[in-house]
Amino acid sequence: MKRFFFLAGKTVKWCIIAVLAVEVLSFAVITTSNWIIYGNLREGPKAVYDPYTLFLMENGVWPTANCEVIPYYPEFSRTIWFFGGSTMRASSAPYERSIPSMVAKELNGRDKPCVFNCFNFGVNSFNSLLEIKYLQKQFLEFIIKPNLVVFYDGANDANYFAVQKDPYAHEGKERAQGVIESYYKSGVGLLKPLNAAYFSSFTRELLQKFLYTASPLDANSPELAAFIQQAVARYDFAERLSASYGAKFLLFLQPLYWVETDPVADTTVAGSEHETILGRKTFPHVRGNFMTVYAALEKALAGKPYFINLRNALSTRTAPAYTADGVHNTDAGREGIVAAMLPHIRDRLPCNIPPAPGGQP
């Protein structure tokens, strides 16, 4: 009996050591890949809890350059709210180089006598679900209401669904759900800190990412159909909510390296991105999984009056448009995106100022 307990204790000890070793190895892989792709050990800047949206960036609303206001002449003023993920926020670049800053520069440089005030409500890792909640929060709390609301989506919706296979997929979903539900879900839930550690573990995150990159999505799965149905319902709601405040709504489906179908006109640029972007050969299903979700969104949203498809908007680029992950953009990429957005923004916010008495605007 004594020998049995000795062996049992030894087995438990080595099992614990093995679990810790796998977790440390997973930590090393995750943090190293973050450093290679993002230049940071963590994926994105510090997030803080928010009761409406689950989380927001610690440093608040990202500044927007080149904005103008005319406080006492509202007929000359146009306000645009921009929502999206890290590609919209662009917090790794100077804020003057974000999409909202460059849109404001172009509009205020040409569309006189109107002036444009743009707000960058992009938040790292946000997808359509979290953006809808953030939109509601800003209509409730933000004092300056918009004339136009812009959503810029595609990458995060595709990525989180591909990883989680859940219609309600979003960043942090399983960690938050695990902490809230698991106390009563199983006996292990009595050990709340241990259960929370399981859902937050690097081993679990690494396994999910491996399965995402190693296995193809089923384009006909009921989970994907439910996800697409809910995403479209969110955008329809965003349009109705914006209209109730007198604002128009635009959804841009963002360009991604992984979903482009038009060849890049400049072969030198195509070759450079081919060498720079990671995972092309190592993770063969990344492109396919992005394409599966993206194509389903594209098809379901076609014909919506607020929908603009930018899938191939950067195919004429003359400089690399994407960073190593094939999602985030270089300055040249953002410039191309802004050029594609501007005609649609101007169409929704024309600078038609009624003439004053005497014929002067």
Pairing status of strand 77-84 against strand 148-153: parallel
Do the Cβ atoms of 161 and 224 come closer than 8 Å? yes
Residue 340's H or E segment, with its range, is helix 331-348
For residues 25 and 207, give the distance between their C-alpha atoms in angstroms, rounded to a whole number.
Answer: 12
62-84 pLDDT per residue, tens: 999 999 988 777 889 999 999 99
C-alpha to C-alpha distance for 224 and 41, rounded to whole angstroms: 32
Gap between the Cα atoms of 291 and 259, Å rounded: 5
Residue 82, pLDDT score: 98
How many domains does the structure of the chain reveal? 2
Task: Give this prediction's pTM.
Answer: 0.87
Lowest mean pLDDT among 33-42, 93-102, 157-166, 326-335: 33-42
Lowest mean pLDDT, pick from 243-252, 314-323, 345-354: 345-354
Q: What confidence score (pLDDT) does residue 192 get?
A: 67
Pair (240, 339) in one structural domain: yes
Both tokens of residue 87?
Answer: 């590609």
Tell whether 265 is covered by a domain.
yes
Q: Within 10 Å of residue 346's Cβ, how many Cβ atoms?
A: 14
Residue whose C-alpha is closest to residue 229's, from 325, 329, 128, 321: 128
CATH number at residue 327: 3.40.50.1110
Mean pLDDT, the chain, integer: 86
Query: Has residue 28 got a pLDDT over 90?
Result: no
Same domain assignment for residues 63 and 30: no
3-state secondary structure of 302: coil
Do both 101 and 71 map to the same domain?
yes
Hey, how many other C-beta atoms are within 10 angstroms of the C-beta on 131?
A: 28
Amino acid at site 264: V
**Do the beta carbons of residue 314 and residue 336 sit within 8 Å?**
yes
- Tell me which of 284 and 337 has the higher pLDDT: 337
| pLDDT tens sequence across 225-273 | 999 999 999 999 999 999 999 999 999 999 999 999 999 989 999 999 8
* pLDDT for residue 181 is more than 90: no
Range of the domain at 240: 51-155+221-348
Are the C-beta atoms of residues 294 and 156 closer than 8 Å to each other?
A: no
SS3 229: helix
